[in-house]
Amino acid sequence: MSGALTRPAVVSHVSDLIGRTPLLELATTETGSRLLLKLEMFNPTGTAKIRMARQMILDAEERGELRPGGRIIESTSGNTGLGLAVVAAERGYTFTAVVDHHACTDKLRAMKALGTELVYVDEDGGGEELATAAREELAEEMARGKDNTIFTEQHNNPSNGVGYFPVAHELHEALDGRIDVLIGAVGTGGALCGTTRELRKLIPEFATVGVEPKGSIAFGGPAHDYYQSGTGTPEGAEIGALVDFDLIDEGVKVGDVEAFATCRAVARTGLLIGGSAGGVVYEALTRLGTLPPGSTMVALINDGGEKYLDTVFDDAWMNARNLLDPAAEREIDELLTKLRRN
C-alpha cells in the first residue's frame, strides 16, 4: 500500500504516529452490506482527538499566536487534553487543562503524567456533572490578555475540523471511494463534519449520520444529564461553530443504556470501545439491515475502551447509576452473532 496508508519504519516524534488507523469489518448482512469501524484508538493517546490537537497548535504557531516557551489552555473532558499534552511536550509548551470531575479519572491521570497542569472548576469534587460552560468560561478568562498564551477553544476553532481532513483521504484510499454512509459522534463537530467536508470533495454522494447522547441539545429535544463523556452538547453550553448541520444528513440520539450495552457486547468480540463510540455502533447496527444491498457504512470510532474499565465496564458503577441492562446486552450480542456469521 502507498500514500496515506503508510508511514516511515522509524519515526522521531510520538506525533509522527498520528493517523493511518485501521478499518475493521464488524458486521455484514446477507445482502452484502457491511459495517466498517475506523479505529481511531490506534492513534497515540488512544483517541482521534490528537489529530485536531496537533492541527490547532501548528496553526497557532503559523499565525504567530504561539511562540517558543508559550502556554496552551483548553477546556477538556480528557481526550483533547491528552492530545494537546503530547504535542505541547514535544514542542516545549506548558499546557493547562481546565477540567471537571465528570471526566474519566484515567484520562485526568494520564494528562498529569504527561506534564499537564490540571485546574478543576469543581474543586470540591462533590459531583459528576458535566460543566462544559463553566470550564470554557474559566479557560477563556485564564488566557485573556496573557502574552504568548492561547485558549485553543476546540468547539469554535476551525483547525479542529481541518485536523480530520486526513481521515477523509485515508478512507477514500482504503475503500477506493466506495462509501455510502459515514456515521459518527457529534461533540465539537470537528471529527464528523471535518471528515465529511473533505470526503465530499472526493466522494460527492454519501450520507452522513450524526449521533449524540439523549440529553444533548444539538439535535433538539429535552436536555438532561448523561454519562457518555467527550460528546454531545449539554444544557447551558453553546453548540459549537464546527457543528455544521448542512453537512449532517440525519441527526439521532442514543441513550446511555444502549450505548454502554453496545460497548460491553462489542467487548465480547475482542474489541474495547469508548462510551460515545458505543452509541455510534448501536445506531449503525440498527440501521445496517435497512441499507441497499452491497452498501458500505463507515463508523468513526474515536475512542478506545481502556479508559472506561472503572465505569462502562464495571458492573458496580453501572448498577449504581441504573445503567446496567443485561437484556439490552443480550439483544446486541445476538445481533452481532448473526451479522458476524454472514
- The predicted structure's pLDDT at residue 313: 98
Range of the domain at 128: 50-158
Same domain, 71 and 182: no
Same domain, 239 and 147: no
Q: What is the DSSP secondary-structure string of 8-34?
A: -SS-SSGGGG-S---EEEEEE-TTS-E
Same domain, 20 and 108: no
Q: Kindly state whether residue 253 falls inside one of the protein's structural domains.
A: yes
Higher local confidence (pLDDT), 125 or 223: 223
Do 284 and 273 form a contact (C-beta atoms < 8 A)?
no
Q: Is residue 211 exposed (0-12), middle (13-18) or buried (19+ Cβ within 10 Å)? A: buried
Q: Once rounded to an integer, what is the mean pLDDT over residues 255-262?
A: 98
Specify the 3-state DSSP secondary structure of 160.
helix
What pLDDT band is residue 5 in, cutting at 50, 70 and 90? Answer: low
What pLDDT band is residue 1 in, cutting at 50, 70 and 90? Answer: very low
Three cell numbers written together for 231: 460528546
C-alpha to C-alpha distance for 62 and 310, rounded to whole angstroms: 40
Same domain, 198 and 143: no
Same domain, 145 and 24: no
Same domain, 82 and 190: no
Q: Kindly state whether residue 63 falls inside one of the protein's structural domains.
A: yes
* Percent of the chain's residues with pLDDT above 90: 87
Cell 499537564, residue located = 116
- The predicted structure's pLDDT at residue 122: 77
- The predicted structure's pLDDT at residue 102: 79
Same domain, 187 and 237: yes
The rounded mean pLDDT for the chain is: 94
Number of domains in the chain: 2
The number of beta carbons lying within 10 Å of the beta carbon of residue 341 is: 9
pLDDT at 133 over 90: no
Reported pTM? 0.93
C-alpha to C-alpha distance for 218 and 212, rounded to whole angstroms: 8
Amino acid at 82: L
Specify the 3-state DSSP secondary structure of 232.
coil
C-alpha to C-alpha distance for 19 and 196, rounded to whole angstroms: 17
Same domain, 285 and 186: yes
Q: What sign results for the dihedral spanned by CA atoms 141, 142, 144, 149?
A: negative
What pLDDT band is residue 105 in, cutting at 50, 70 and 90? Answer: confident
C-alpha to C-alpha distance for 200 and 203, rounded to whole angstroms: 5
Question: Torsion angle, CA of 86/169/198/89, rounded to 10 degrees?
Answer: 10
Same domain, 264 and 321: yes
The residue count of the chain comes to 342
pLDDT at 236 over 90: no
What pLDDT band is residue 301 in, cutting at 50, 70 and 90? Answer: very high
Last residue of a domain, one of 127, 158, 189: 158
Last residue of a domain, one of 133, 158, 183: 158
Q: Kindly state whether residue 303 falls inside one of the protein's structural domains.
A: yes
Same domain, 98 and 230: no
Q: Kindly state whether residue 269 falls inside one of the protein's structural domains.
A: yes
Q: Kindly state whether residue 309 falls inside one of the protein's structural domains.
A: yes
Can you list the positions of beta strands (E) in 234-306? 250-254, 296-301
Q: 6-10, 82-86, 217-221, 245-249: which range is least confident on average?
A: 6-10
Q: Kindly state whether residue 342 falls inside one of the protein's structural domains.
A: no
Q: Once rounded to an integer, what is the mean pLDDT over residues 155-176?
A: 96
- The predicted structure's pLDDT at residue 104: 83
Last residue of a domain, one of 102, 126, 158: 158
